[in-house]
Amino acid sequence: MATIVLHKETGKRYVLIGTGLGAFKSTRPSFFGGNLFPNEEEGEIPVAAVSDENGEIIWIYTNELEVLEIDGKTIKELLS
């Protein structure tokens, strides 16, 4: 069976394939300190791989998705 999710912004439904977490870190020399005191930036990007009705895989931020049903049952049915 499948997990069906809703993209909150567009109202479009997708099949959830899986989730992932991207991480990044960048360093560049600072104006005054050069490489001794570099400007560093880092973060994480929580995303989910979803598929549309054509089988196209799309990566969407997880906070933009809402789970509608799992294996044909709503969340309320599963948790009650």
Q: In which domain, by residue range, is 37 found?
A: 3-79
Residue listed under structure tokens 């009650």:
80
Q: Look at 26 and 4; give whichever has higher pLDDT.
A: 4
Query: Burial level of 14, CB count in 10 A (0-12/13-18/19+)?
Result: buried
Residue 74: pLDDT band with limits 50, 70, 90: very high
Number of domains in the chain: 1
Q: What is the mean pLDDT of residues 2-27?
A: 91
pLDDT at 69 over 80: yes
Which pLDDT band holds residue 27 (cuts at 50, 70, 90)?
confident
Q: How far is CA 42 from CA 56, 63, 67, in A?
A: 30, 19, 29
36 or 75: whose pLDDT is higher?
A: 75
What pLDDT, on a 0 to 100 scale, did the predictor assign at position 35? 77
What is this structure's pTM? 0.72
